[in-house]
Structure 1
Amino acid sequence: MKTEQAGLYTREGAQVPLQGVEVTGELLGGHARVRVRQRYRNDEKRPVEAVYTFPLPSDGTLSAFSMTCAGRRVEGVVKEREEAFRTYDDAITAGHGAALLDQERANVFTAQVGNLLPGEETVVEVEFLQSVTAEEGAVRWMLPTLVAPRYIPGAPSGDRTGHGAMDPTSRVPDADRITPPVGEVHYGLRMDLLVDLGREVVVESPSHAITVNRESGTRMRVGFSRGEVSLDRDLVLSLRSPDSSAVFTPLVTHRKDGADAGTFALTVIPDLLAMASAPPKQEVVFVVDVSGSMAGESLPQAQAALRLCLRHLREGDRFNVIAFESNFRSFKPQPVPFTQRTLEEADRWVAALQADGGTELLRPMQAAVQAAPDGVVVLLTDGQVGNEDEILRAVLAERKTARLYSFGIGTNVSDALLRDMAKQTGGAVEFIHPGERIDDKVVAQFSRALAPRVTELQVSFEGVEGAELAPSELPPMVDGVPWTLLGRYPTPGTGKVTLRGKSGREPFALTVRVDFPAVSDRPAVEKLWAAERIRGWEAAGLTGRRAESMKKRIVELAVAHQIVTRYTSFVVVEERTAERRASGQPETRVVPVNAPAGWDMFGTAKKEEAELDGGMQHVGSVRSRGGVMPPPAARPMPAAGMRPGGPGAASGGAFAPPPPAPMAPAPMASAPMPRPSLARAPASASAPMKDMARSAPAKKRKGGFLSGLFGRDEEAERGISQPALSGPEELAQDEAYSWGDDEAGDVTSAAPAESLYVAEEAPSLAHEGGAGAEALLGRQLANGLWAGTGTGPEPVRQARATALALLELLREGVTSSHPLHGAQVKKAVEALLSLAASITGEPQVAELALGVAWLVAAGPRTRGRIEQAAKPLAGLNGRMGNEVALRQHVDTLAAR
């Protein structure tokens, strides 16, 4: 006898009609086309309406919406937002089936599915497009899976128009539309993605255990190892080419036969290192989130990322660190010079940070931009706030030329604010997920902040014509970062596109040959162009009649290309007859979402994370550190068909974590960190290296780099077998990241300096597992040099140690043109040049130092400066310019 499924229930006891979510689609050479299918089933005895608030990538362009029920698929259409709602409401009132898709924020959407009939299954499908470009031979694709709880500031204000857990406030008027209730969730996520980049790639995931099945040619199918997973963290895929080369064609076009115009997307990856001089001194303010939502895995990741960022500053740069929760505090009252002493002080200050309170981001961001109005602001946060627009406006009002670079930490980053701040200030954003190596990301991100850039860009066309360009205001071009221009071309032809601007004070020009064909079939390019045009119009910040006129233009373009925006929505209606036609208004069922993985305030941080071994995690009661979080107070919810009304009073309050229970001190907070010896890695000061090796798993393994911070080996939990590491390799990998207690419980004890690995021993490190480059770079001092041992003046000892370190990096293929580590190599070369005059009394050391510096320097200007400094050295005369002879010479000197 077949048993009947009991069904899923909301906190109030009503059944949850959402049965599961499936991600399908294609990741192709220039873009991703992804479909998110939501499967609903009504197990009640009367028609119901399902309301589900879910996320999509903020840079995605919604391209299709459909509903399938009773075996029939009905395609949706884009209409002006209020017109779409009226169409939906009229259909529901008349007893038909209907679905509505509204955009609440750039990355938050609400699906309403009305008149779900008893015993019937309905599938709603949302399709979106994304531009996909390669950076350093790799593609990173991310799909958020839930709208996580966020801090909602302000006093209750206005009428409720949505079904969220929070009421509207004076500072977040749409709070009720972006706060889905958190509850017990049993529906899960499945995936079936086709990957075809036109060449061989390696597909990996730092967030989930996946399976990759190869089909014909370069086609691969990617799914989850155990079929279904929880929607409690972002889904992240990394696709890299084995030969580390770019995988995309720089020009993609679309033009129908006989059409009035075609559309193009031109992408360039500029190489500006060769023409860059030494960068000016920087002023950098780091802003780190220590709110309650950062408890668990997020804060240790943020601390590790921040400590790495500090080590990429140059001596003489000025910096400060701001930590924020409900309030904020600073490392120093004002930015201070970056020295070895301030680096060590900042290490200790950062190590003592603990997570608590709300995510009040506005005031600390204002303080940061005020402290460095023309500098660089680096933000480390999980980004879960409700007043994104208010924060963005305040930052843009306070800054002059400051650029914002953000690290999104954790499993459920709300990326819209971080992307907007980066885009509107000329910065960048990176997202870091549990179990994922962060060192490469931090290096790449911070290198961008200090990298050469081209500003005041203008574009001209020769032989062809480009029109209606997007973005209309060309953003800066940053070394090594893909830069894309979209536009329309009235007539086909072959010609040139020239980009001109300024690199510092010097002129810059780049010319690219293009072929605009008469016929080309890449329709996604047209939608991407329209979406980028709309984003530019939305960012114009117009008011009054001009704002209304701009809204009309946005609606017209969005409807013409069927794109969802803040002013347009997708709606689909299934006309019903006879017994399938419902009567009366359906009752509303609001779909709850998972507690985010790793959030202590919901009691999930210490749960077994079954995602990591491919299983399905069922989140139980919603808890905070202070106990069970009560559900929101009962309140009237808008009935089916309810839509925004006029202003009025409303009760309720903003989300904030409950009062915290006492918690254990953060790692390294129990005692001051001792000042590290200059002969050792500054990051290793928290414990002897031998104890670090015992207390944490080896970190070089892909995906498990931070597992030692969290007290478990995430690779083992995911079922990935890796070789055990020991000896110098394990020490080299762990020394900058492992903060665990040693066996004696003394987290501050330090091994004698002579027992630690120093720069002269780098070759043995580098060839035992490939960890040498990261280990060497992790020991670079604040002045850009490496600490030396033995006798003699300190400049001579440091010059020799630095030359040996750079020589080993050269053996590993790391030079000043390296996409990730080039900035640190340039820093070391500049430091050696500054020592040149003080080490000429030791000709062998001077020849070794300047010879290696010439070999690792890729820029002709830097090599010219090195040749000028080397003129007094007879051993280098005639060898510079001959790489083979110079390499033999420095190898001989290094062996002495």
Structure 2
Amino acid sequence: MVSCGLLTVQKEPVPLKSIEVELEVRDHVATVVSTLNYENKEDKPLEAVFVFPLPGDAAVCHFSAKIGQTQIVAEVKEKQEAREEYDDALSSGQQAFLLEESEQSPDIFSLSVGSLPPGESASIRLEYVTELAVQADDGLRFCLPAVLNPRYQPQGSEGVQVISVPAFLVPYSLSFSARVSSPRPVSKAESNCSLDPLQYLSTDQTQATVKLAAGHRFDRDVELLIYYKDAHQPTAVVEAGQASAEAGTLMGDPVVMVSLYPEFPQSVMSSLASCGEFVFLMDRSGSMSNTRIRSARDTLLLLLKSLPMGCYFNIYSFGSRYEHIFPKSVEYSEKTMEEALKKVEQMEADLGGTVILQPLKHIYSQPCIPNQPRQLFVFTDGEVWNTKEVIDLVKENSGSHRCFSFGIGEGASSALINGMAKEGGGHAQFITGTDRMQPKVMQSLRFALQPIVEGVSVTWDLPKEVSVTVLSPPITAVFQGQRSLIYAQLTGQSSEAAEGCVTVKYSLAGHPSENQLHFSLRPAADTGLTVHRLAARTLIRSLEMEEGDSRRENDGGVKEKVVQLSVQSGVSSSFTAFIAVNKDKNEAIQGPLLHRDIPVPMDGAVHCCLSSVGMSYEDEDYSSNDDMGFALFETCEDFRGECTDTVLMNKTAEQPPRDPLLQLVSLQKASGCWLLDPALAAALGKSSEEVEKSKPAKANSEVWATILALIWLHGLKMDAKDEWELLAMKAASWLRAQKARCVTECVEAGNALLGCSMKKEALGL
């Protein structure tokens, strides 16, 4: 078991002094180089252990150490062999460095720096490549995880144990700079952290640099959003193989990375599904307290109001145990919606730890409802210890549902959130900092209401002397405007001018569709081996998922394939580790070796929620390691007091006034209409008399109320259109079904009352 410890209890110095991160973004692929600078200021040799997060889909491809003028480059070896080599080196007085991925979660790594003599410094260089995810607003998201929250572990379970410290106690610094280059102009860069201004390096604005402002406090992950002009262009990049690798192997042959953006016909997109079984699974563990649980309740309100009549739904919530509102999914109606909303309003973050496996098993044990495709929405701050087990379960049940996942707050596990969506054929979103949860969730609901794409096939048209081996798992989910990535190995020789073509065919709402991309087979210049490493990582992850299946079938062959591919490509896996031994040092390092664990920052919200109830990590609901909580609270006594007072004060303080938009939404009926009553008048900022007096004489009360609500949304809340668009479509649909007279008169009177100038057509009427 790896333990990341808190050291300041014993007032011992932390040998990690600084972390420097350089990011290079080429189009939608990122290469990250992190340099970790260590110094031993003690009088005995040290072993330092640092457990830290990386993006869950990162391909770690280089690890080296520099001591003085000596540079040692690590090799990838089978994990047990690497550990034994590391231990042997330390016991014989040599310096050694070990980097390994957690077997439970691919977004946690452990770095051991062994036998650093007194007064000695070492620089560790770690390099990885990763794809950048496309956001709802077309921005490309890069996230440097800085926060590693405690992963909830039930009694008796094994895995990586982490003790974190509040941001202001982190004893090392972080510097971060990014260089962006793309065939298309870079329009802007945004971050949840303070940035120095974007600097353009070329007049056509296709190259730029940006830096994190000095003094980063480690209280959040560093999120960088990059925006290109015309980002949704399909592309293909062919990368030449490694000259030293054998032809016919993954590293020896050219590899192509194809990114496609399917566009659906407008006629199909305008008819969103009116059926489905929607199951919402909400995290109510202690770390979801305060603003998170309030935002979750508001989000569930919007979701419930936006569901189509005729569908089915249920809401589960979980912590150390789980609850559900209905014994099984029920038909959506005014009665069931109101019953669910009453329960939602009472939800608090009071269910303990984060055990997501049991409620998932219960949901999957429920029989599917005929002709109602199951759509699962999972909301969690992602602090589970058994990530791979959870993703395996989603994959096993991927034939019967789509899974949409949401990572809430700093430190949410990217491996868990991305893995569930990828294996569940859905879409992943991350909600950090001051992000509103609602727009991202409503975008995913729009995806869920799109017709399910069936019969996806990918065909290649290449010169006859070139054959193709697809390395990516089959595409199972296609959403409007969302990128699909395919990696493939190209074997055989072709002329410089040769072209290839890839075609994706699928059926959408019974209509056959296809997207095609022609590309040059000439390898791109200056890509390094980025595409090969991403392709190797994709294949390794697929094989690791298979390995879970083969363990159940007692077939050990998959592990050997993963180890072989990992060693050949130099890309990390859960079965291998990077090992470097300094064999140049002539004399053995003398004296007993002191062990030092490096603390990592934790999300303030998690710390506050634990402190506020006087809970330590060894409580049953947080961890099985008996020393953890006391170490944390002994160190942070002042912080704990301050935090407790704040949170308890928040608990007793009045709830903040409800957002006017949510106030209006809460009054909508399941059918889509509003009632003409004093509550609606108040939400519109008018008196009952004003609303009643302005109503055209022949107008039906509900028609008038619904038109007023639509005018208010379109006229005064366009900045939040993503949040209310679906429920407004439902309201317009209800109005059209009424075949009401005097709609034009109502729109004119409503505009006059609310000070707007909306046209009937703009309201969907």
TM more than 0.5: yes
- Superposition deviation, residue 350 in structure 1: 2.2
For the residue of structure 1 that corresponds to 2:60, the secondary structure is: strand
Aligned to 2:181: 196
- Superposition deviation, residue 756 in structure 1: 4.1
Once residues 510 and 892 of structure 1 are traced to their aligned partners in structure 2, the CA distance between those partners, rounded to angstroms, is 33
**Residues 630 and 319 of structure 1: is their aligned pair in 2 closer, same or farther, counting only changes over 3 Å?**
closer
Q: What one-letter code is carried by the residue in structure 1 that aligns with 2:489? A: R
- Superposition deviation, residue 106 in structure 1: 0.8
514-523 vs 379-388, which deviates more?
Answer: 514-523
Task: State whether residues 352 and 669 of structure 1, in contact with CA within 8 Å, keep that contact through their aligned partners in structure 2.
Answer: no
Aligned to 2:664: 681
Gaps of 5+ in 1: 1-7, 157-168, 606-622, 634-650, 686-749, 760-786, 849-886
Aligned to 2:470: 469
Q: What one-letter code is carried by the residue in structure 2 that aligns with 1:543? A: R
1:143-542 equivalences in 2 (<5 Å): 143-154=144-155, 156=156, 169=157, 173=158, 175=159, 177-180=160-163, 182=165, 184-197=169-182, 198-206=184-192, 208-217=193-202, 218=205, 219-225=207-213, 227-241=214-228, 245-246=230-231, 250-256=235-241, 261-276=253-268, 277-340=271-334, 342-356=336-350, 357-371=352-366, 373=368, 374-396=373-395, 401-464=400-463, 467-490=468-491, 491-492=493-494, 493-517=498-522, 520-522=525-527, 523-540=529-546, 541-542=549-550
Aligned to 1:792: 699
**Residues 41 and 274 of structure 1: is their aligned pair in 2 closer, same or farther, counting only changes over 3 Å?**
same
For the residue of structure 2 that corresponds to 1:553, the secondary structure is: helix
Once residues 220 and 114 of structure 2 are traced to their aligned partners in structure 1, the CA distance between those partners, rounded to angstroms, is 28
Deviations 1:686-722 (A, max 9, x none): xxxxxxxxxxxxxxxxxxxxxxxxxxxxxxxxxxxxx
For the residue of structure 2 that corresponds to 1:74, the secondary structure is: strand
- Superposition deviation, residue 304 in structure 1: 3.0
- Superposition deviation, residue 564 in structure 1: 0.4
For the residue of structure 1 that corresponds to 2:487, the secondary structure is: strand
For the residue of structure 2 that corresponds to 1:543, the secondary structure is: helix
1:548-567 equivalences in 2 (<5 Å): 548-567=556-575
**Residues 295 and 549 of structure 1: is their aligned pair in 2 closer, same or farther, counting only changes over 3 Å?**
same
- Superposition deviation, residue 479 in structure 1: 1.7
- Superposition deviation, residue 54 in structure 1: 0.4
Once residues 819 and 679 of structure 1 are traced to their aligned partners in structure 2, the CA distance between those partners, rounded to angstroms, is 13
Asked which structure has the greater RCO (Cα within 8 Å, sep 6+), the reply is: 2
Task: State whether residues 370 and 399 of structure 1, in contact with CA within 8 Å, keep that contact through their aligned partners in structure 2.
Answer: no
Aligned to 2:32: 34
Q: What one-letter code is carried by the residue in structure 2 that aligns with 1:383? A: G
Task: State whether residues 253 and 516 of structure 1, in contact with CA within 8 Å, keep that contact through their aligned partners in structure 2.
Answer: yes
- Superposition deviation, residue 366 in structure 1: 2.6
Task: State whether residues 28 and 195 of structure 1, in contact with CA within 8 Å, keep that contact through their aligned partners in structure 2.
Answer: yes
- Superposition deviation, residue 300 in structure 1: 2.5
Task: State whether residues 454 and 501 of structure 1, in contact with CA within 8 Å, keep that contact through their aligned partners in structure 2.
Answer: yes
Gaps of 5+ in 2: 1-5, 634-642, 669-676, 687-693, 749-757
1:574 paired residue among 573, 578, 582? 582
- Superposition deviation, residue 486 in structure 1: 0.9
Once residues 843 and 382 of structure 1 are traced to their aligned partners in structure 2, the CA distance between those partners, rounded to angstroms, is 46
Once residues 96 and 560 of structure 2 are traced to their aligned partners in structure 1, the CA distance between those partners, rounded to angstroms, is 26
Task: State whether residues 52 and 111 of structure 1, in contact with CA within 8 Å, keep that contact through their aligned partners in structure 2.
Answer: yes
For the residue of structure 1 that corresponds to 2:603, the secondary structure is: coil
**Residues 21 and 275 of structure 1: is their aligned pair in 2 closer, same or farther, counting only changes over 3 Å?**
same
Q: What one-letter code is carried by the residue in structure 2 that aligns with 1:362? A: L
Task: State whether residues 788 and 800 of structure 1, in contact with CA within 8 Å, keep that contact through their aligned partners in structure 2.
Answer: no
Once residues 341 and 654 of structure 1 are traced to their aligned partners in structure 2, the CA distance between those partners, rounded to angstroms, is 50
Once residues 680 and 628 of structure 1 are traced to their aligned partners in structure 2, the CA distance between those partners, rounded to angstroms, is 35
Aligned to 2:123: 123
477-486 vs 511-520, which deviates more?
Answer: 511-520
Deviations 1:798-848 (A, max 9, x none): 675588579869x9799xxx999875676556445534xx33x55857999
Task: State whether residues 270 and 477 of structure 1, in contact with CA within 8 Å, keep that contact through their aligned partners in structure 2.
Answer: yes
1:876-887 equivalences in 2 (<5 Å): none
Once residues 199 and 389 of structure 1 are traced to their aligned partners in structure 2, the CA distance between those partners, rounded to angstroms, is 39
For the residue of structure 2 that corresponds to 1:100, the secondary structure is: strand
Once residues 231 and 677 of structure 1 are traced to their aligned partners in structure 2, the CA distance between those partners, rounded to angstroms, is 34
Once residues 625 and 172 of structure 2 are traced to their aligned partners in structure 1, the CA distance between those partners, rounded to angstroms, is 29
Task: State whether residues 67 and 123 of structure 2, in contact with CA within 8 Å, keep that contact through their aligned partners in structure 1.
Answer: yes
**Residues 302 and 272 of structure 1: is their aligned pair in 2 closer, same or farther, counting only changes over 3 Å?**
same
Tell me how many residue pairs correspond in the alignment. Answer: 690
Task: State whether residues 212 and 220 of structure 1, in contact with CA within 8 Å, keep that contact through their aligned partners in structure 2.
Answer: no
**Residues 831 and 888 of structure 1: is their aligned pair in 2 closer, same or farther, counting only changes over 3 Å?**
closer
Q: What one-letter code is carried by the residue in structure 2 that aligns with 1:222? A: V
TM-score by length of 2: 0.80
Once residues 591 and 530 of structure 1 are traced to their aligned partners in structure 2, the CA distance between those partners, rounded to angstroms, is 31
Once residues 180 and 891 of structure 1 are traced to their aligned partners in structure 2, the CA distance between those partners, rounded to angstroms, is 54
- Superposition deviation, residue 240 in structure 1: 2.3
For the residue of structure 2 that corresponds to 1:57, the secondary structure is: coil
**Residue 834 (structure 1) aligned with residue 737 (structure 2):** yes
570-579 vs 114-123, which deviates more?
Answer: 570-579
**Residues 488 and 822 of structure 1: is their aligned pair in 2 closer, same or farther, counting only changes over 3 Å?**
farther
Q: What one-letter code is carried by the residue in structure 1 that aligns with 2:263? A: D
Task: State whether residues 253 and 521 of structure 1, in contact with CA within 8 Å, keep that contact through their aligned partners in structure 2.
Answer: no
Aligned to 1:591: 598
Once residues 49 and 407 of structure 2 are traced to their aligned partners in structure 1, the CA distance between those partners, rounded to angstroms, is 28
For the residue of structure 2 that corresponds to 1:681, the secondary structure is: helix
Aligned to 1:727: none
**Residues 123 and 309 of structure 1: is their aligned pair in 2 closer, same or farther, counting only changes over 3 Å?**
farther
- Superposition deviation, residue 199 in structure 1: 1.1
Q: What one-letter code is carried by the residue in structure 2 that aligns with 1:251? A: A
For the residue of structure 1 that corresponds to 2:186, the secondary structure is: coil
Task: State whether residues 108 and 178 of structure 1, in contact with CA within 8 Å, keep that contact through their aligned partners in structure 2.
Answer: no
Once residues 99 and 661 of structure 2 are traced to their aligned partners in structure 1, the CA distance between those partners, rounded to angstroms, is 59
Aligned to 2:752: none
- Superposition deviation, residue 469 in structure 1: 0.9
Deviations 1:69-99 (A, max 9, x none): 2133322221221222233223223322221
1:755-766 equivalences in 2 (<5 Å): 755-757=682-684
User: Going by fraction, where is strand more abundant, 1 or 2?
Assistant: 2
**Residue 65 (structure 1) aligned with residue 63 (structure 2):** yes
TM-score by length of 1: 0.69
Once residues 367 and 665 of structure 2 are traced to their aligned partners in structure 1, the CA distance between those partners, rounded to angstroms, is 27
Deviations 1:205-234 (A, max 9, x none): 12x222234042233333332x13233422
Deviations 1:315-338 (A, max 9, x none): 332222222222222233333343
- Superposition deviation, residue 477 in structure 1: 1.2
Task: State whether residues 698 and 742 of structure 2, in contact with CA within 8 Å, keep that contact through their aligned partners in structure 1.
Answer: no
**Residues 192 and 679 of structure 1: is their aligned pair in 2 closer, same or farther, counting only changes over 3 Å?**
closer
Task: State whether residues 316 and 337 of structure 1, in contact with CA within 8 Å, keep that contact through their aligned partners in structure 2.
Answer: yes
Aligned to 1:93: 91
For the residue of structure 2 that corresponds to 1:419, the secondary structure is: helix
